[in-house]
Chains A and B, each alone.
Chain A
């Protein structure tokens, strides 16, 4: 048994996702605490070159499964490769990203190797026996639980944008090991026919580190450009309140809240959103919340870190301009 700490890297189109660095950062911390190695598993096609840069971020070793059949993510493809590798290498702890990808295959792997899996975690710690404990939100973030993982290897998927990403240090190098991959015909039971991009613009709402959302205070779909302009300057994703989606100003894909997407960016800017409890459920665990609202009693002001009492029609253009200035300087 290697007893090492593992991270399953996430890449799409040969590009490492930001969450991967967060996993490495947390994985490194655990490995140092346990006194074991940090090993990263990378899957895909033509991705071997990424292994080196993973080393820069603190991995001791990178297992690379580079294969035609892994070009696009499939549940069966990923589950098989990772399961076999875990069986062979016996890591102590395996970390996944709690993205749509990680949440789609991690339980498969856990079931096959008999592991316990805690999902969508926001904090990890080791108890006195170096056993993993995970903190995760339940009831849409209205409560938090600490979970113990009873069977080994111990597995956890980590919520994006919560853990501190690893720092790049080009002097740090990782050993790279190629993983032989083979699939029998029909072993991967689903095929990806197409990936249709753009339902929510460039950055996915759930993985964006800044989200700018608009609410009913914008008065109509024709005014949403105010929110979009600000988002563009900040490289942020655009979100919307339920009122706006119900009114048909924006598609449901933009909806943040209890019945929409749960987002946890570093910065959430709510423009003309009153802050109904349902909305708070979707963005309440953002690191910083900024609220702009005309109504000084709007509930959103009770949860924000910074608030501006003012008319979105007046504030947003000025704010966009100010951010533009600041970002041009730096």
Chain B
């Protein structure tokens, strides 16, 4: 199988978010980057499919020079090839244009299945996998927690995590699958595989190589634009109740009804 995984490099979950000088992005100072949490499940699932059915896993990421490290991490996990998509014109792409850039790269490759993490933990949109499926003319299964693939029948069955239930859907390959926590347990790269990752192919493609015009991508091509970023207001100090358990419980119930009006 030809398996493609789209990954994003994002600030570490422990990043202290501060608004940057431009008032639109976070302050990049001291930020450590990691492979997006949900993309680990995508890479793992791709490698497992390859181990089971044979084939090749290609990881793709749009982003500046630093994303090479994220791509190498995926190679160390067991992906075979990596492609970095970057061009200064790609800066500030919205989810739609990001998917457009990814779709152009994918169209140059053979593919049977495409994995994405369900969302990137920076912009949290969950939209890129859906746009990507649309742009490639493929069906999709988002929020997948269990996946069965039959490469001969070219079919998949996906268990999706929806509110209070799992939805089981069936469809034909190729398809875009967005991966949710619980799908698998991503492996840690072994130390020898980290060393081998350096020798694997990592290709770079820019706008021209993807046949994209700079007006189609980045901020220019975007349909949504960030105007400003702010930090949530600090919560005012709460009321702390101490003392006789019966008393404090009564008081809490009263406050919730009369002050907060939530009961």
Q: Do chains A and B touch in the complex (CB under 8 A)?
A: yes
* A178 interface hit (Cβ, 8 Å): no
User: Could you tell me the distance between the alpha carbons of A321 and B250 in the complex, rounded to whole angstroms?
Assistant: 10
**Which of B24, B139, B170 makes the CB contact (< 8 A) with A76?**
B139
* A126 interface hit (Cβ, 8 Å): no
User: Could you tell me the distance between the alpha carbons of A307 and B190 in the complex, rounded to whole angstroms?
Assistant: 46
Are B253 and A322 in contact, CB atoms less than 8 angstroms apart? yes
User: Could you tell me the distance between the alpha carbons of A194 and B168 in the complex, rounded to whole angstroms?
Assistant: 5
Q: A139-B17, A143-B230, A303-B235 in contact; A193/B262 too (CB < 8 A)?
A: no
**Which of A76, A111, A207 makes the CB contact (< 8 A) with B96?**
A111
Besides A143-B19, A148-B227, A149-B223, 5 other A-B contacts (C-beta < 8 A): A193-B170, A197-B165, A198-B164, A198-B165, A289-B235
Q: A75-B139, A258-B13 in contact; A307/B171 too (CB < 8 A)?
A: no
User: Could you tell me the distance between the alpha carbons of A196 and B126 in the complex, rounded to whole angstroms?
Assistant: 23
Chain B contributes a number of interface residues (CB within 8 A of A) equal to 76
Task: Please name the residue on chain A nearest to B160 by beta carbon.
Answer: A100
Question: Which of A133, A146, A197 has the most B CB atoms < 10 Å from its CB?
Answer: A146
User: Could you tell me the distance between the alpha carbons of A252 and B239 in the complex, rounded to whole angstroms?
Assistant: 31
Q: Give the Cβ gap from A288 to chain B, nearest Cβ, in Å.
A: 5
Name the interface residues of B111-166: CB closer than 8 Å to any CB of A: 121-127, 130-131, 133-135, 139-143, 157, 159-166
Q: Beta-carbon contacts of B59-103 to A below 8 Å, as 1s and 0s?
A: 000000000000000000000000000000000001110000000
User: Could you tell me the distance between the alpha carbons of A260 and B226 in the complex, rounded to whole angstroms?
Assistant: 26
* A130 interface hit (Cβ, 8 Å): no
Are A189 and B171 in contact, CB atoms less than 8 angstroms apart? yes
User: Could you tell me the distance between the alpha carbons of A146 and B96 in the complex, rounded to whole angstroms?
Assistant: 17
Are B181 and A139 in contact, CB atoms less than 8 angstroms apart? no
Q: A304-B238, A307-B241 in contact; A141/B232 too (CB < 8 A)?
A: yes
Chain A contributes a number of interface residues (CB within 8 A of B) equal to 97
Are A290 and B223 in contact, CB atoms less than 8 angstroms apart? no
In the bound complex, residues from chain B placing their C-beta under 8 Å from that of A108 are 130-131, 133-134
A-B contact pairs, 15 of them (CB 8 A): A107-B127, A107-B134, A115-B223, A145-B228, A194-B167, A195-B168, A198-B164, A200-B164, A205-B163, A305-B235, A308-B242, A318-B249, A319-B249, A319-B252, A326-B253
In the bound complex, residues from chain A placing their C-beta under 8 Å from that of B168 are 192-196
Task: Please name the residue on chain A nearest to B135 by beta carbon.
Answer: A111
Q: A189-B171, A301-B238 in contact; A266/B164 too (CB < 8 A)?
A: no
Q: A203-B164, A234-B263, A301-B240 in contact; A314/B245 too (CB < 8 A)?
A: yes
* B199 interface hit (Cβ, 8 Å): no
Name the interface residues of B202-243: CB closer than 8 Å to any CB of A: 222-232, 235, 238-242
* A45 interface hit (Cβ, 8 Å): no
User: Could you tell me the distance between the alpha carbons of A150 and B172 in the complex, rounded to whole angstroms?
Assistant: 35
* A129 interface hit (Cβ, 8 Å): no
* B186 interface hit (Cβ, 8 Å): no
In the bound complex, residues from chain B placing their C-beta under 8 Å from that of A278 are 13
Name the interface residues of A281-328: CB closer than 8 Å to any CB of B: 281, 284-285, 287-291, 296, 301-310, 314-315, 318-319, 321-323, 326-327
In the bound complex, residues from chain A placing their C-beta under 8 Å from that of B133 are 108
* B260 interface hit (Cβ, 8 Å): yes
Are B164 and A204 in contact, CB atoms less than 8 angstroms apart? yes
Q: Give the Cβ gap from A92 to chain B, nearest Cβ, in Å.
A: 15
Q: A137-B124, A196-B168 in contact; A189/B139 too (CB < 8 A)?
A: yes
Are A252 and B134 in contact, CB atoms less than 8 angstroms apart? no
Q: A139-B11, A145-B226, A147-B224 in contact; A252/B163 too (CB < 8 A)?
A: no
User: Could you tell me the distance between the alpha carbons of A259 and B121 in the complex, rounded to whole angstroms?
Assistant: 10
Q: Give the Cβ gap from B118 to chain A, nearest Cβ, in Å.
A: 9
Q: A133-B227, A189-B171, A285-B232 in contact; A199/B125 too (CB < 8 A)?
A: no
Q: Give the Cβ gap from A123 to chain B, nearest Cβ, in Å.
A: 11
Task: Please name the residue on chain A nearest to B233 by beta carbon.
Answer: A144
User: Could you tell me the distance between the alpha carbons of A191 and B167 in the complex, rounded to whole angstroms?
Assistant: 10
* A165 interface hit (Cβ, 8 Å): no
Task: Please name the residue on chain B nearest to A141 by beta carbon.
Answer: B232
Task: Please name the residue on chain B nearest to A288 by beta carbon.
Answer: B260
Are B164 and A201 in contact, CB atoms less than 8 angstroms apart? yes
In the bound complex, residues from chain A placing their C-beta under 8 Å from that of B227 are 133, 145-148
Q: Give the Cβ gap from A40 to chain B, nearest Cβ, in Å.
A: 21
Are A310 and B163 in contact, CB atoms less than 8 angstroms apart? no
Name the interface residues of A125-182: CB closer than 8 Å to any CB of B: 133, 137-151
CB-based closest 4 A-B pairs: A204-B163, A204-B164, A116-B223, A189-B139
Are A119 and B127 in contact, CB atoms less than 8 angstroms apart? yes
